[in-house]
Structure 1
Amino acid sequence: MKRRSQGQWRLQPVWPFLLWRPTHMCICFASCLIACLHAVGFVAMSRWASQLRLAGAGFGDSGAGNRLVRRYVLADPPVRTRPPDTVSEVSTQNAEWTECLIKNPVSNAGQNALRVETWIFRTTDFGDFRRHLRIRGFENIGETSSLSCRERQIDPDVRCSECLRLLCGGYYGHLGVCVPSYPPQRDAVGCLAQSKQIDMPAPTTEEDDSGDWDGDQGRQSAFCNSLNVRLDKVSL
């Protein structure tokens, strides 16, 4: 090794370094290794930071230098569950009411006329409506009246010219009795709402009128007379 002394260079031997202790050599080697690792890490961090700066500079930039690639993902359309199959409703729900038309030919003093009546009632009260017709003599011998019935839907707009109640069972007997509604009802919904069961306790055997007792459940059935007109025949 050359060494400068008083303006001259002299060669110095390198062998004194070989006399270092192993501990000194390990410390020197470790220091060099740490320095190299720091240098490599600094270079890597610098490159990573520069890439981040480039990405940050291009974010949101719509110019030619924009290096950000936008990817749009097309999602599946929303799925709507199909409603379950519905079974057709039983027709009786649409036929809670029954409408009957009565045509009664009338002959008086050589004049022919036709009386027309329309009655509306609950379909379940059809048997009681037949009792009502028997009370008024509809099924008597020689009766020329005709009866035709059909099912119809509930109509809150139907008005009643007359609302009757048939009371049967219990004290009223099997055939029953007909009385006007109380309080009076002018609409069909209110009139037919009076149909109900009647709670009547059975009489004791000591009562005199126990023989008139009917064992059927007492009930009240309402009928709405929505049309009652007389059509006179006119000769031209």
Structure 2
Amino acid sequence: MLENFIYISDMIGVIACAISGVLVATRLRMDPFGITVLAGVTGIGGGTLRDMMMGATPVFWIVDNTYIYVIITTAIISVYWLHRIHRFPAYLLPLLDAFGLAIFTIIGAQKALMLGFSGPVAIVMGCITGVVGGMIRDILSGQIPFVLQKEIYATASILGAALYVICNYFGFGQIVAMVIAMAGTLSLRVSAIYWHLSLPVFSDDREA
């Protein structure tokens, strides 16, 4: 049951992040190849880097090609849907990002602990899994990534990964721990979006 829960959650995260990649690509009027690339890197970019850093190779989507099929199918359906409605709500992209962030963060932390890594490493791997796909998408589309701005993005990811590690340490059931941690990440990120919460920004205003 746990494996099925993790796998289904992972697929939901891939779909949510792939759609966010399609939204950015269509907004920038990319061709079908560009749309697929942005959908792909957003959906599996973070998990790919995580697996490479932990030596879990071949990485997950090479072992299980379902991830590739899901990304391509999601891209096709999303483009068709966007063509029908002609525009998408402004809140859709950050919300999809938030769902993907919550799911990927906890799956990354869970995999690190499963492979025997320490709690701090699991938190870092959770954060990498959660934020790197969106970072690559934004860099390829010529934008400053959310995580490098004042957005409460990586902070929400770190919170969720830490909650999962703590719940795991105190013997919570795996599914319960994952749900609590996902809820923590999602709550903080959505709250930040809704109430426009942000981290302080530091700058050097001195004249040269």
Structure 2 length-normalised TM: 0.21
Question: Higher strand share goes to which structure?
Answer: 1
Q: Which gives a bigger RCO, structure 1 or 2 (Cα 8 Å, sep 6+)?
A: 2
Question: Higher helix share goes to which structure?
Answer: 2
Structure 1 length-normalised TM: 0.19
Q: Which has the larger radius of gyration?
A: 1
